[in-house]
Amino acid sequence: MTTSHFQRGGLTLPGGAAIRGFTLLEVMVVIVIIGIIVSQITISFSGQSPEEILKTEARRFASLAQLASEEALLSNALIGIAVDHDGYQFLRRQKDKWQASTESVFRKRSLPDEVRIALDSDYRPAEKKEEKLAPSILILPSGEITPFHITFISEATDDRFYIEGSENGSIDLQHTPAL
């Protein structure tokens, strides 16, 4: 009959051979390394280049702004678009307050890390301390829009998409590739 003896530092087999396992720290380091490798592989297989990501985001904004213009016209509603450094969201004016749209198509949109957004708008909302949400762009029930220029910029390639909204409600999208 073979017996083994447990001693501090590991298990000892007959004949004096010691069996030593991995420490918890070693196991955790390996798990972290595997996690980092898997996340990098996942990112590299996402399939979209920085140019495609930028194009998708710019087209999405232009399409949603056009849809919001049509929605304002059909529902006789005042709609706003709040733009900030990390994304945008659609607002509705209800009961003398701006409120985030509850429609899923007009939900808050966050931009990917590699996309920046810059806004130049003719509309400057009056600052009211009690209002947390304020639009950067207004879409009137008549379908008119406050004129604006938005630039979507790729951090990786410096490609740019320009979106221009004019008073008559038209929204134009233009692309300027990086040099």
- pLDDT digits 0-9 by tens, 59-103: 999 999 999 999 999 999 999 999 988 899 999 999 889 999 999
pLDDT(150) > 90: yes
Region 43-67 average pLDDT: 84
Residue 112 pLDDT grade (very low, low, confident, very high; cuts 50, 70, 90) = very high
Cα distances (angstroms) measured from residue 113 to each of 38, 46, 86, 109, 116: 20, 15, 8, 13, 8
Q: Considering only CA atoms, which of 175, 163, 141 is closest in space to residue 70? A: 141
Least-confidence region, from 50-54, 71-75, 117-121, 125-129: 125-129
pLDDT at 7: 54
- Identity at 28, one-letter amino acid code: M
Neighbour tally for 25: CB within 10 Å = 8
Q: 109: closest CA among 83, 140, 132?
A: 83
**Does residue 34 surpass a pLDDT of 90?**
no
Quick: pLDDT tens for 8-21. 555 666 666 666 77
Amino acid at 73: L
Cα dihedral across residues 65, 67, 69, 72: positive or negative:
negative
Query: 141 CB contacts (<8 Å, ≥6 apart)?
Result: 72, 73, 75, 76, 77, 78
Query: What is the rounded average pLDDT of the residues 139-161?
Result: 91
The token pair that represents 114 in the structure block:
């590699």
| Domain annotation for the chain: domains and CATH numbers | 50-176 (3.55.40.10)
Q: What is the pTM of this model?
A: 0.70
Question: Is the pLDDT at 178 greater than 80, yes or no?
Answer: no
For range 14-36, the mean pLDDT: 77
The residues near 165 (Cβ < 8 Å, ≥ 6 apart) are 65, 137, 145, 146, 147, 148, 149, 150, 171
pLDDT category of residue 46 using cuts at 50, 70 and 90: low
